[in-house]
């Protein structure tokens, strides 16, 4: 009997369908193409087209980071949405915010669109990590989170390459439009993930005593990270007069290094454990901060900057650690609390660091960063992972479709 042509086409389309992990990684790539296109041109746009002052930029940056603190409450209210749908909503918010950057004519308009785009970004951070852990195979969370970082930087690499190659042909406002289009594609990808991937719960915020080490280390990681993100590149530009072309090349080179090293870091976490990888990465980061404080040669500082970007991958140990510790239905709210703890530091450290720089010099800022790393090293030995009861794995082994989700 001859097979129905329609059925034949349907079977063929099903055989060509992408695995959930592939869809997720494509979504991540387009998400970070979109976000990096926006951040890559923003400073020049603000200075050249809006003539923004330093105090106005400070107000904008403070408000832009504030969604990181309230993200835990927003995500708690949206627990009725599964992770993939919340990720789609987050990327839509980012797309809307970044698109309207292209329509701005006055600096105060930045406050609203910046808040909208940043809210989407800070919702996306914990939700995308939760999806990664759900998709990971048993005891392979580190490798999956390493792949997340890898494709994060693939997106950054592509966006920086676009900016460098097109140069002046790409207007700032067109870059914002392209950013929004990329994020819309990411949203569609998230909606294409399997319906049984995430979890639906009643609105809740989770703060538990037994997660105290995660909360403290996440807060300290936010302090350490924000010192470097805010001031490391600024030192090269402000003090050593690095031109924008070389800044873009440096960022491109760093993206390549992270793409190369992220699989190794992910494998190391699964092979040697979160505690050991985090301790070694922080131990080495301490010397990076000391280097920034005492080296006064631009090439040595560039080397420190690159090494820090690679060692920062060790911080995914925190996500892998909590992913193994918490029950699957508590993962999203616990990760969102981590984002909030991280961003309490993100709001405070730029202000503190800026004051210290002006009063005592930038070297003192990086000495403070080295001290934060030492404090983190003290708490790392307290990381302990209890053996999970059978059926409690966050990779859904009891689900009959779990094998398909892990492909």
**Residue 102 DSSP label:** T
The three-class DSSP label of residue 207 is coil
Superfamily of domain 206-385: MFS general substrate transporter like domains (1.20.1250.20)
> Which is more confidently placed, 348 or 31?
31
Report the mean per-residue pLDDT for the chain.
80
Is the pLDDT at 101 greater than 50, yes or no?
yes
Q: Element (H or E) spanning 388, and its range? A: none
The overall pTM is greater than 0.85:
no
Residues 340 and 317: their CA atoms lie apart, in Å, by 18
Phi, then psi, of 365 in degrees rounded to 5: -60, -45
Q: Is there a common fold for 19-193 and 206-385?
A: yes
Highest mean pLDDT among 128-132, 176-180, 218-222: 176-180
Is the pLDDT at 214 greater than 90, yes or no?
no
Residues 215 and 197: their CA atoms lie apart, in Å, by 26
- Residues comprising the chain, all counted: 407
**Residue 66 DSSP label:** T
Q: Element (H or E) spanning 112, and its range? A: helix 109-135
Residue of 345, 350, 339 lying closest to 70 (CA atoms):
339
| pLDDT (tens digit per residue) in 11-32 | 443 444 678 889 999 999 999 9
| pLDDT (tens digit per residue) in 223-254 | 888 888 778 877 887 788 877 667 778 878 88
Q: What percent of the chain has pLDDT over 90?
A: 25
Q: Cite the DSSP H helix spans in 295-387.
A: 298-311, 316-325, 331-360, 362-379
Residues 400 and 407: their CA atoms lie apart, in Å, by 14
Least confident of 75-79, 179-183, 265-269: 75-79
Question: Considering the domain 19-193 in this protein, what is its CATH number?
Answer: 1.20.1250.20
Write down the domain spans for the chain.
19-193, 206-385
Residue of 113, 114, 107 lying closest to 52 (CA atoms):
107
Residue of 294, 102, 91 lying closest to 188 (CA atoms):
91
Highest mean pLDDT among 5-9, 31-35, 324-328: 31-35
Q: Give the chain's count of helices (H) and strands (E).
A: 16, 0
| pLDDT (tens digit per residue) in 357-395 | 878 888 998 999 999 999 999 999 998 865 543 344 444
């Amino acid at each position: 009997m001859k097979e129905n042509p329609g059925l034949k086409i349907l079977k063929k389309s099903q055989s060509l369908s992408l695995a959930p992990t592939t869809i997720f990684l494509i979504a991540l790539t387009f998400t970070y193409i979109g976000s990096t296109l926006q951040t890559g041109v923003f400073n020049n746009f603000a200075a050249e087209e809006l003539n923004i002052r330093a105090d106005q930029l400070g107000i904008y940056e403070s408000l832009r980071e504030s969604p990181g603190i309230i993200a835990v409450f927003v995500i708690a209210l949206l627990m009725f949405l599964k992770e993939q749908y919340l990720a789609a909503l987050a990327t839509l918010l980012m797309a809307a915010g970044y698109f309207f950057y292209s329509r701005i004519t006055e600096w105060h308009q930045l406050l609203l669109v910046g808040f909208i785009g940043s809210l989407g970004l800070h919702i996306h951070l914990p939700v995308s990590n939760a999806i990664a852990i759900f998709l990971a195979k048993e005891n392979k969370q580190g490798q999956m989170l390493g792949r997340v970082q890898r494709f994060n930087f693939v997106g950054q690499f592509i966006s920086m390459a676009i900016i460098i190659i097109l140069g002046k042909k790409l207007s700032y406002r067109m870059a914002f439009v392209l950013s929004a289009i990329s994020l819309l594609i990411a949203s569609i990808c998230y909606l294409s993930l399997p319906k049984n991937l995430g979890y639906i719960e009643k609105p809740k915020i989770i703060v538990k005593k037994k997660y105290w080490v995660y909360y403290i280390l996440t807060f300290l990681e936010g302090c350490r990270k924000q010192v470097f993100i805010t001031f490391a590149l600024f030192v090269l530009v402000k003090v050593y007069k690095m031109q924008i072309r070389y800044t873009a090349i440096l960022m491109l080179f760093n993206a390549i290094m992270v793409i190369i090293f992220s699989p190794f870091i992910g494998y190391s976490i699964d092979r040697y454990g979160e505690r050991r990888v985090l301790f070694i990465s922080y131990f080495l980061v301490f010397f990076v901060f000391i280097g920034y404080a005492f080296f006064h040669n631009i090439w040595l500082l560039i080397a420190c900057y690159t090494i820090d970007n690679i060692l920062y991958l060790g911080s995914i140990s925190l996500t892998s650690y909590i992913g193994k510790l918490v029950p699957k239905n508590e993962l999203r709210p616990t990760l969102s609390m981590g984002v909030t703890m991280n961003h309490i530091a993100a709001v405070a450290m730029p202000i503190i660091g800026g004051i210290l720089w002006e009063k005592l010099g930038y070297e003192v800022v990086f000495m403070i960063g080295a001290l934060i790393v030492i404090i983190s090293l003290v708490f790392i030995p307290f990381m302990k992972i209890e053996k999970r009861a059978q059926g409690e794995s966050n990779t859904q082994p009891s689900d009959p479709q779990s094998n398909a989700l892990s492909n």
